[in-house]
Amino acid sequence: MNKKKLIRPITIILTGIILGGFYYASEMNKQQSIERQQQLNLNQKQVEIQKNIDQQRLESRILSEERLQMKIEKVECVQDAKQSAIDYEKKLCVGGNTKCFGYVYGTYTPLAYQNFYKSCLEGKGLE
């Protein structure tokens, strides 16, 4: 009779332990699932941030290249304007033109240079 009295409490204790184990296992599974999802979200955010950084670097590089190209074109305009102004002054002085104010080889008036420089910039769409 002693054994019959002990079977019921032992059964209840074992049932509680088994149910508790299943409950603990399911809670651990939930926690691991939540952690995996958070890690996936974190990875996605890192990928998005890296894409944004790469995009900004690309845009910055393109902008730098465009600025460099503009500088090169302006230098070309300076050279072209100088040569055009010199050629213009030469034409004015050919044949004793009265508009020639003592042309010296390789010189030009600032006004002529500015006009040619401005037209060059406009032709290249820089001004």
pLDDT tens-digit series, residues 29-69: 999 999 999 999 999 999 999 999 999 999 999 999 999 99
Structure tokens that stand for 80 in this block: 């072209």
Phi-psi region of 108 (alpha: psi -120 to 50; beta: other; left: phi over 0): beta
Please name the residue that has the structure tokens 């049932």.
Answer: 15
Is residue 104 domain-resident?
yes
Domain membership of residue 111 as a residue range: 32-123
Contact 85, 108 (CB under 8 A): yes
pTM greater than 0.85: no
Cα 122 to Cα 125: distance, rounded to the nearest angstrom: 5
- Asked, for residue 95, whether it belongs to a domain, the answer is yes
The Cα 79–Cα 84 span in angstroms is 9
Nearest of 73, 91, 80, 70 to residue 115 by alpha carbon: 80
Q: How many domains would you assign to the chain?
A: 1
Answer whether residue 54 is part of any domain. Answer: yes
For residue 1, is it within any domain?
no
